[in-house]
Amino acid sequence: MSALFTAATLRGLQVPNRIVVSPMCQYSAERGEAQAWHMIHLGHLALSGAGMLCIEATAVEPDGRITPGDLGLWDDATEAALRPVLAAIRQHSNIAVTMQLAHAGRKASSHTPWEGGQLISVADGGWMTHAPSAISHKPDETPPLALDTAGLLRVKEAFVASARRAARLGIDALEIHAAHGYLLHQFLSPIANQRTDEYGGSRENRMRYPLEIFDAVRAAFPGDKPVGVRVSATDWVEGGWGIEDTIAFASELKKRGVDWIDVSSGGVSPQQKIPLEPGYQVPFAKAVKEATGVTTIAVGLITDAKHAEEIVASGQADFVAMARAMLYDPRWPWHAAAELGATVSAPPQYWRSQPREQKHLFGDISFGQR
């Protein structure tokens, strides 16, 4: 039996296999509201055969968007715009739907990647960004505003409000984004956090605000539904956040009932030096899992079915998540199941697509024809 295609349980959520569609920013919303693109994009990924689909980084307040086109969930309009998208998914797929809640911090107010990705100044229609400290991401950028007591409370309440809206929408699980150089990662990393209050200085202090956000979201989301956290295991910069810090953070999250740690890396500094290769971040997931026993998701250039199988079968991680590979091959789970001798869920409209040599790919089904 394929380990990759065994079922898993996360609190009250049953997941049919260990394949996760990673959250992928589409920069295609208007005023934070989902558009037809989100219906198409999420709809076809919901038919991929993966066990779980994570909606892209969803801003908890307008100032928390990476770009003006980021998806949001901060008011009735953004909530209403997602409702038909989710209804369509539920009608045609049994995939578990997760949402990644996020705040970009000092990396907000940026152009889309295809427009260069640089900071948009206030004069050019951008907005002032907020961060733990008034330190810009790049030397030539306008420094962000350091969050004061009122600002910290505002952002925390925004996470809580978004979690409650996600619950009303019927989202199955939440993932809190504390990676890739965005706000919560900025608090964790000494590169971005140079505060002198209870939220800065020691590792314990730097972890304090992200842990408060987790506690608040966990309390606001239904108790039978899981909440995970995405982390950057290392900044890839000397003197920055590292794997031992990540293990300490994961250990604190475990005490608070975290359901998974999604282990990525980098993003907090343009000085990072990342040695890219297939599965380059898997050792970080393995280290977190071995040190804490927390359920982990491995990410990073995992594109081969046998590689994904080996990661799960060997216990390096409990799930594998894919982004670009899933865009390039939206039926990757089908093809992986065929290669590994497993079955996968597919809508009946597609049952006749399975090759003759893989006639049991979709399980023991029959398809009559007059």
pLDDT tens digits for 68-119?
A: 999 999 999 999 999 999 999 999 999 999 999 999 999 999 999 999 999 9
pLDDT < 70 stretches in the chain = 364-370
Residue-wise pLDDT tens digits, 152-206: 999 999 999 999 999 999 999 999 999 999 999 999 999 999 999 999 999 999 9
User: Which domains does the chain show, CATH number per domain?
Assistant: 8-358 (3.20.20.70)
Entry pTM: 0.95
From the candidates 27, 182, 199, 209, give the one annotated as an active-site residue: 182
CA-to-CA dists, residue 134 to 60, 220, 231, 252, angstroms: 21, 30, 22, 27
- pLDDT confidence of residue 365: 58
- Residue 182 among the catalytic residues: yes
- pLDDT confidence of residue 367: 52
d(CA 72, CA 60): 6
- pLDDT confidence of residue 211: 98
- pLDDT confidence of residue 205: 98
